[in-house]
Each structure stands twice: as C-alpha cells, then as structure tokens.
C-alpha cells in the first residue's frame, strides 16, 4: 500500500505508455480501455501534479463503460490520485464509495486510514502555521510600539 501511494513512475515507463496511448488515439477508433487505464495509472504515479490530474481525468472517462470490477479499480485509483493531489475530501469520497460496496476491502481501509491521517496532520500543520504567523505579527507590532516610544 505504501508503495502505491508513494511510488513514482519511471520517466521511461511513462513515456512508453504515453506513446502507446497516443498511437491508439491516432488509430481513429476508440482507445482500448486497457491502454487508457495503463496510461492513466502511470500518470497517477507521476511526481507532477498536472500528470496526476490528467490521470484522474482519464480514469473518470473510463468509469461509465467499465465492468463492476474495473469500476472498483477506477474508483480506488481515483482515490489514490486525489490523495496524491492533496484533495483529501474528494479522495475520501471515492474510498468511502468503494468501502460501501466492499466494506472489508483491505486496500480501501488502509487508504482511508492514510487519507484521514493526512487530513489530521495537514489540519494541525495549518493551525501551527496560523499560530506562528500570529506570533510573528504580534512580535513585529511589539517592536514597532517599542521603537515608537523611544
């Protein structure tokens, strides 16, 4: 699980899948779902947010036509993509949807725990930054007042 969330695709692999996807698009017919899925999953594992967002969009395109099993995979990987984009609310919505259908899905349960941990961590970090900013402003005001008195 950790590797799925933290794994970064090799540039060569991403480029090869991108060429395969582009060739399928140029072919005139619809892109085979497996080709689109493999490219989308590689994009989700990119270190660049734009790639991850593009991968999520490709997965969303696949949702209406997939089998139940494929849709389960798409929903899971959409949760991973949104987690990587730090869109925790949306990631949680996807993983909760998966867990409604499969309450004991181990991957889904681990992902939900990781998303919630990140939400808590980022919430605490956000409060710490606001608190630190307030202290900094108060310190500057104190210095300005002290300087004005002298």
**Tens-place pLDDT, residues 23-45:** 999 998 999 999 999 999 999 99
Residue 96 has a pLDDT of: 97
Query: Does residue 97 carry a pLDDT above 90?
Result: yes
77, pLDDT greater than 70: yes
pLDDT exceeds 60 at position 1: no
- Checking if the pLDDT of 52 tops 50, the result is yes
Average pLDDT over residues 79-104: 96
Query: What are the start-end ranges of the H helices in 27-104?
Result: 33-44, 49-62, 68-84, 88-101
Q: What's the pLDDT at 150? A: 57
Distance CA(1)–CA(79), nearest Å, equals: 13
What is 2-115's CATH number?
Answer: 1.25.40.10
Question: What tokens were used for 95?
Answer: 């993983």
Percent of the chain with pLDDT over 90: 75
Mean pLDDT of the chain: 88
Give the model's pLDDT for residue 147: 57
Confidence check: pLDDT of 64 > 50: yes
66 exposure class (CB count in 10 Å sphere: 0-12, 13-18, 19+):
middle
């Amino acid at each position: 699980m950790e590797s799925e969330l933290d794994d970064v695709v090799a540039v060569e692999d991403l480029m090869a899948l991108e060429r395969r996807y582009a060739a399928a698009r140029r072919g005139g017919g619809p892109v085979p779902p497996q080709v689109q899925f493999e490219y989308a999953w590689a994009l989700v594992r990119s270190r660049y947010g734009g790639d991850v967002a593009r991968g999520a969009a490709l997965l969303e395109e696949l949702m209406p036509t997939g089998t139940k099993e494929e849709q389960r995979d798409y929903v899971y990987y959409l949760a991973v993509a949104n987690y990587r984009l730090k869109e925790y609310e949306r990631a949680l919505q996807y993983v909760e949807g998966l867990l409604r259908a499969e309450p004991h899905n181990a991957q889904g349960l681990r992902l939900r725990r990781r998303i919630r941990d990140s939400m808590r961590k980022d919430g605490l970090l956000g409060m710490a930054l606001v608190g630190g900013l307030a202290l900094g402003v108060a310190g500057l005001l104190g210095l300005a007042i002290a300087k004005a008195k002298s």
